[in-house]
Structure 1
Amino acid sequence: MKKLLTLIAIAGAVLLAGSCKKNYLDLKPLDQLTEASYFTTPDQFKAAASDFYNKMISWQSVGGSNIYDFMDFGSDISSNVTVGSTVSYGRGSVNAPNSDIYWDNTYAYIRNINILLSKANVYAGNKSDIKQYVAEAKFFRAWQHFFLLKRFGGVPIVTTVLDLNSPGLTGPRNSRYEVVNQILSDLNDAIAGLPTEQAIPSADKGRISKWAAEAFKARVELYEATWRKYTGVTTDFKGSAGPTADQVSEFLTDAAAMAKDVMDNGGYQLWNYNSTLNNRSAYYLFSIDGSGSNPLNLDKTSNNEFILKSLYDFNLRQGGINLTHTVQAFLIPSRKMMDMYLCSDGLPVDKSPLFQGYHTAASEYQNRDFRLYGYVLGYGALPASGSVTLNGAYGYGNQKFAAYNYPTYRNDNQESQDYPQIRLAEVYLIYAEAKMELNGSISDADLNISLNLVRARAGVAPLTNALAAANGLDIGKEIRRERTIELWGENSRFDDLKRWGTAEQELNQSICGAVVGSASYPTDFKDASGNATQLYSPNLYVYGETAVATGKGNLNCVTVDAAANRNFKRINYLFPIPLKQIQLNTKLVQNNGY
């Protein structure tokens, strides 16, 4: 793992950048390197492939990217209306920009990947010595094309090294269906060439395994299958070719198979120390950063849940961003998110007799999903009555991704926990959703080997067909609920709403915070006469209060963002192609509505 971190830290310099005389492998002086002279040994291919890990979105900025664009900010489950470009996006306020770093940078990354692949084709040595790094390159080419697909839809597919005279520079967009086929082709090649996790030596831990590629393929196939099932061709650009075949069932079947292979053979485990960490595994999992980052002195070697991660280390690669402060201040759950957490009996708050309501600050936390405690409270205690004030805030906090014992153990910019790219909990949820979408139902046996393992860690009763039937639950919606809760803040919400075809419905509702109640439902914030208590300053809320459905009927809540401000449309499912690219290549067709 440390070896990969070292490679990542210097890989950019190795690849022809050259501010120092020699790289760690004692190669030629970097200022003398060319593409032709560099790719001559397996170690050089390995170093080049290591740079691709740098290009995944994670804590550190990549080419001007911002992790806060990828944390669900601005979605229906977030009360943040100030930080991150996705705040405007969630309101449907999107205009075609002149340039887009996510377009420019991603194609630059793909070019570097294609350079390695082109050099592998003419490598004079034993091709088996570079097989793993070629497979990693195929994985990352799929990764970057998938990023483009989610953001823009169909885009130009680039599988060769383009120069200024290449016809591909002025070619048309490929359809999303062609892009998906290319992604899956690359992933099949990657799976065939990558080692299992068990075969990766300890010094190289953190490199992509066969299981990571299978898990990512399952993610891609579930995404595309449900996009086609629920969103269909409604976002395809004018003139785009349609799908050549109905691949929904094919993708769902393979997504479940890929997930199952990872579940059965990957050797991964959910990180669960609830019995000794006061049921707060959901907090500590995302703050593991050296043995001082939790009361049990567990370090990163205890985490066998992250299948693919961006590696960080206090000595070698710190996060370098104001992470803890930002997630505590801005990754704040909305009223909708708070009410999504189930009670321990497995029932929603509007159905469970265990739900204690909102009369005090602590009452809604009673008998609930452990993730509510871990994500919202971290290692802190339940809020005491009178301890929460509504003086411009929205009633809740967040501790997911926040450093333990901040700022003593880790201060701003020092946080060095690994960033989860793919983890086992998601694979379990992919399996359950793929099975449900494929068959219109799912057996208790399939639930028990997937989703219910995630719920068990959260202290929530299993989801069964009997429980659903007895309580009027829709199992498909419960699977979606579980995904929303588990992947909170992990860049899943916008993608999920769009592939389910429900973004307009969910994003255009008022975003609300804490329940303030009324005379008929007194709380810490309003007394039995309906008057604001000293804990509540109504004049500080521009949008006042909104009555919304809660676990105790329609109740008044502070309004974070009014529905009148939110106008997310079907055209907003995709971002616009940057205008500069259309000017440079007139064959590029703009996405609908821009």
Structure 2
Amino acid sequence: MKRLLYILGFIVFSFGCNDILEIEDINHYSPELVWGDENLANAYMANLYGMFGNWDTGADRTSQQIAGITWYADRITISNGDYKDWNYNRIRLINQAIVDVNGGGLDQELKDNITGQALFMRAFTYFNMVMYHGGVPYVKVPQDRYEDDLFVARNTTAECFDFLIEDLDQAISLLPESISSGSGDYGKVDASFALAFKAKVLLYKASPQFNPSNPWENSYWTEAQTANKAAYESLSALGYGLEDMYSDIALDEGNRETVFSVINSYPNKSANWDFGVRPGSESRGPASACPTWEYIKEFPMLDGKLYNDPTGQYYMTDAEFLQNYWKNRDPRFDQSIVWNGKVYEVSGKSGKRQYTSLGIAHELDDFGVNPNAGINSTNLDRYTGFFILKNSMLDLTQPEVQQYDVDYVLMRFAEVMLNYAETSNETGDMTTAKNILKEIRERAGILPGVDGNYGIVATTRESMREAILAERNIEFAFEGHRFWDLRRLRMLDRLDGQTKHGVEAIAIDENGTEISLSVGRQLASSYSLTEKNFKYQVLQVPRSGVQSSVLPENYYFFPIQKAVLDRNKQMEQNVGWGGTFDPTLE
């Protein structure tokens, strides 16, 4: 039943509408027919749901989580299309729906529901534009796609936030409170998602990104706290909460942690997650996303503290940690990362271990420069010696990797919780913030410790802020949050100038002496080599080309593309990009 939304849009609109309406796509249709027929009206809306995206293996390449240098010098300019969000074609279609549905012959309940969905979609689209660029023209009426071409000036950023909240409040009033996973409407926007998203919008409004001169004491934090508390309490009362097992947050589709997900259903709709994260020998090509050594080090130990914290139960020096990095870790590490020698029963292969050691591993999986191999790995510029396990469907065989159809979780309750923790901390309620972190860590499987604090030692607003940020970095591993969190907190300097590294594994005997590669291959063929049968060394990745990130100060707001400015003389460019428009709230 939960597949109905996507299938309806695919079958009715893609096949049926050409015959019924004699149109080719959503840009050419008869309003009288569409908005007078429930199936066609739902099909129109279903085609807009593509705006919510799908799984993206490289979403965190913009941070230190994933290998690859995204931020090379002049990556963003006013002329290129990189990091520009200016989707007024979608806005026109949404505005058309809001106007036309209310003039059609549908019953009022359906009209209200479609209007609520469209208002949310409008706010969602505009929020991303504001997050990128600051204030934009907040157009609320359908414009002619050929004549008007958006010849209007930008609204201020403050006006845009006001309009966002106005649209979201109206959407909340029109949408059903919550849609269960067993409903035929599962996959549609409901009031719970809208309420949680409104809270996120207000978190951004209060953030240092929009308030650089007064990042932590501005009045918007109180407004954000009120909204995030309301979202947390409302969703909790409706039964939302943390899934019991961290490894099940996506794979157990429709669980109570899912606030909103994009429905995937093979063969009609699938995603490239397993195709992109698996080692090449178990996929249809090389992995496109590999965790970095920097990120491996950021996962806590089992006691919730970092490996190099002298007060931790599992303290190790850097040298000790390199040779034992898989031991006594936060259980989320084991559930998120594949490392050399780990048991990795991919493609249903019982007892299989994954190897990355050059000369021992499959050539599509190896990483290293071991001279005994006689040749360097061909993966040195893209691999790290680690792969992603999180959200992988291990039972898919190699030929089936492109059949991955796990629903894409766009927002889950853990985000609602951590957003609430952040606003609580910034408004003086550190107790609530700490309790939320403890709950997140308890679910993860971190030990509570004798003090019951799960390794949390924050005692000031500043240290709690850092604790929340660190928790988000681990809890949302590979979900595409990290760069945007650092950006809204004006902490991009933590990425600027940074390099990335991987870890090479070299097989050794019990005395620490390197063994022959032929012996290593024989042992590996029966999965007899474990993690401890290797020594490890750090290698920078990539090893050629651009090797460090460049993130200048003006990346806190991206520019309006020059082509847009050339078409519309009323449009101002952002400060920092040669213009006079202030994209902040100051």
Match of 1:353 in 2: 313
Give the secondary structure class of the aligned counterpart of 1:330: coil
Give the secondary structure class of the aligned counterpart of 2:154: coil
Change in Cα spacing, 1:385 to 1:271, as seen in structure 2 (3 Å) is closer
Q: Which runs of 5+ in 1 are unaligned?
A: 23-27, 60-66, 82-86, 235-244, 274-280, 289-298, 517-522, 536-554
Match of 1:366 in 2: 327
Aligned amino acid, residue 414 of structure 2 = A
Change in Cα spacing, 1:478 to 1:189, as seen in structure 2 (3 Å) is same
Write the distance in 1 (CA, Å) between the matches of 2:490 and 2:8.
Answer: 41
Write the distance in 2 (CA, Å) between the matches of 1:485 and 1:368.
Answer: 12
- Equivalence map 1:379-528=2 (5 Å): 381=343, 388-389=357-358, 390-391=367-368, 392=380, 393-408=383-398, 411-439=400-428, 441-443=429-431, 445-448=432-435, 450-461=436-447, 464=453, 467-468=456-457, 474-514=463-503
TM-score for both structures, normalised by structure 2: 0.76
Write the distance in 1 (CA, Å) between the matches of 2:468 and 2:335.
Answer: 20
Give the secondary structure class of the aligned counterpart of 1:507: coil
Q: 1:575: Cα distance to partner?
A: 2.8
Q: 1:213: Cα distance to partner?
A: 0.8
CA offsets 1:484-531 (integer angstroms, 9 cap, x no match): 111122121121111111102333222233389xxxxxx979x999x9
Say whether the 8 Å CA contact 2:266–2:403 is kept in structure 1: yes
Say which is worse superposed, 377-386 or 335-344, in terms of deviation: 377-386
Say whether the 8 Å CA contact 1:324–1:401 is kept in structure 2: no
Change in Cα spacing, 1:372 to 1:363, as seen in structure 2 (3 Å) is same
Write the distance in 1 (CA, Å) between the matches of 2:42 and 2:84.
Answer: 26
Change in Cα spacing, 1:270 to 1:164, as seen in structure 2 (3 Å) is closer
Number of matched pairs? 510
Match of 1:324 in 2: 275
Match of 2:54 in 1: 58
Write the distance in 2 (CA, Å) between the matches of 1:470 and 1:528.
Answer: 45
Write the distance in 1 (CA, Å) between the matches of 2:354 and 2:80.
Answer: 51
Match of 1:589 in 2: 572
Aligned amino acid, residue 381 of structure 1 = V
Give the secondary structure class of the aligned counterpart of 2:411: strand
Aligned amino acid, residue 209 of structure 1 = D
Q: 1:262: Cα distance to partner?
A: 4.0
Say whether the 8 Å CA contact 2:307–2:321 is kept in structure 1: no
Q: 1:479: Cα distance to partner?
A: 0.8
Aligned amino acid, residue 137 of structure 1 = A
Match of 1:147 in 2: 128
Write the distance in 2 (CA, Å) between the matches of 1:376 and 1:129.
Answer: 45
Q: Say if 2:35 is the partner of 1:39.
A: yes
Match of 2:97 in 1: 116
Change in Cα spacing, 1:364 to 1:169, as seen in structure 2 (3 Å) is same
Q: Out of 323, 337, 344, which is 2:295 matched to? A: 337
Aligned amino acid, residue 40 of structure 1 = G
Match of 1:292 in 2: none
CA offsets 1:177-217 (integer angstroms, 9 cap, x no match): 22222111111111111112257871111211211111111
Write the distance in 1 (CA, Å) between the matches of 2:96 and 2:465.
Answer: 44
Change in Cα spacing, 1:103 to 1:229, as seen in structure 2 (3 Å) is closer
Change in Cα spacing, 1:148 to 1:79, as seen in structure 2 (3 Å) is same
Q: 1:272: Cα distance to partner?
A: 2.3
Match of 1:295 in 2: none
Match of 1:202 in 2: 183
Write the distance in 2 (CA, Å) between the matches of 1:377 and 1:367.
Answer: 15
Write the distance in 1 (CA, Å) between the matches of 2:258 and 2:170.
Answer: 23
Give the secondary structure class of the aligned counterpart of 2:325: helix
Say whether the 8 Å CA contact 2:442–2:454 is kept in structure 1: no
Match of 1:5 in 2: 6
Match of 2:76 in 1: 94
Give the secondary structure class of the aligned counterpart of 2:410: strand
- Equivalence map 1:9-20=2 (5 Å): 9-10=10-11, 12-13=13-14, 18-19=17-18
Change in Cα spacing, 1:231 to 1:56, as seen in structure 2 (3 Å) is same
Aligned amino acid, residue 254 of structure 1 = T
Change in Cα spacing, 1:187 to 1:322, as seen in structure 2 (3 Å) is closer
Change in Cα spacing, 1:232 to 1:492, as seen in structure 2 (3 Å) is farther
Write the distance in 2 (CA, Å) between the matches of 1:92 and 1:371.
Answer: 36
Write the distance in 2 (CA, Å) between the matches of 1:478 and 1:571.
Answer: 27
Write the distance in 2 (CA, Å) between the matches of 1:144 and 1:168.
Answer: 18
Give the secondary structure class of the aligned counterpart of 1:404: coil
Aligned amino acid, residue 484 of structure 1 = N
Write the distance in 2 (CA, Å) between the matches of 1:469 and 1:360.
Answer: 24
CA offsets 1:59-117 (integer angstroms, 9 cap, x no match): 4xxxxxxx456x11132222234xxxxx1x3665222335569645x221111110011
Change in Cα spacing, 1:41 to 1:367, as seen in structure 2 (3 Å) is same
Q: 1:337: Cα distance to partner?
A: 1.5
TM-score for both structures, normalised by structure 1: 0.75
Match of 1:64 in 2: none
Write the distance in 1 (CA, Å) between the matches of 2:253 and 2:134.
Answer: 37
Write the distance in 1 (CA, Å) between the matches of 2:12 and 2:257.
Answer: 27
Give the secondary structure class of the aligned counterpart of 2:384: coil
Say whether the 8 Å CA contact 1:263–1:428 is kept in structure 2: no
RMSD: 3.9
Match of 2:253 in 1: 300
Write the distance in 1 (CA, Å) between the matches of 2:10 and 2:121.
Answer: 18
Match of 1:543 in 2: none
